[in-house]
Amino acid sequence: MPTYTIAARSEIELDIRKSRFIGIVMPVAGREAAMQEIERMRDAHRGATHVCWALMAGGQSGMSDDGEPSGTAGRPMLEVLRHHELDGVLAMVVRYYGGIKLGAGGLVRAYTDAVATALKSVERTERVPQAEIEIGITYAAEPQLRHWLAQHKYELLDSRHDALAHLRLRLPEAQLAQAEEAIRRVASNASIKRII
């Protein structure tokens, strides 16, 4: 089943019964990057009552109600990310309390709406798991292999030369076995090392 991420950060603002809700969604590399973004948001909004968040990254999830009643903020936000099949995405909602209590149902709707509204303005892109390999070949086979790489649009990350030419590349993980077989046809004595 494919998963998706978002191409860019999006921020919106909703006023609900005098409370101000700032919804933010952004792509993140992982949990550590997400925690840094959450801290930045807390620093930027020191006067906010709550900075709630939900994260889907690398198939793992996390969330925080940040003082709101349990299950009224983080979990609903996380469900929005799951519903959109997102991964590598951090959702945050900053709330400035306006003096009118919303009740549990009202809070769930507010946090859900803030994330869903922020997601409306971003492009969703499919996440394609990548693999990296290093190929060792003779100098004579290098031009033919580079031509093959260009034809398949695989990303050349690095090259170095000693007794052999070493090319490090990134390609879709699903194409790895097929690519290794093709590389051996191009350069029969190629050594291939899977890195990731």
Domain ranges of the chain: 3-127, 130-194
Task: Give the alpha-carbon dihedral of 162, 168, 174, 180, to 10 degrees.
Answer: -20
* Same fold: 3-127 with 130-194: no
pLDDT of residue 113: 97
The CATH number of the structural domain formed by 3-127 is 3.30.230.30
pTM above 0.85, yes or no: no
Which of 3.30.70.120, 3.10.450.50, 1.10.357.10, 3.40.1180.10 would CATH assign to domain 130-194? 3.30.70.120
* 3-state SS, residue 29: coil
Amino acid at 189: N
pLDDT in tens, 47-96: 999 999 999 998 789 999 999 999 999 999 999 999 999 999 999 999 99
Q: Find the radius of gyration of the CA atoms of the chain.
A: 23
Q: What percent of the chain has pLDDT over 90?
A: 59
Query: Once rounded to an integer, what is the mean pLDDT over residues 122-138?
Result: 87
Q: Checking phi first, is residue 136 left (phi over 0); if not, alpha (psi -120 to 50) or beta?
A: beta
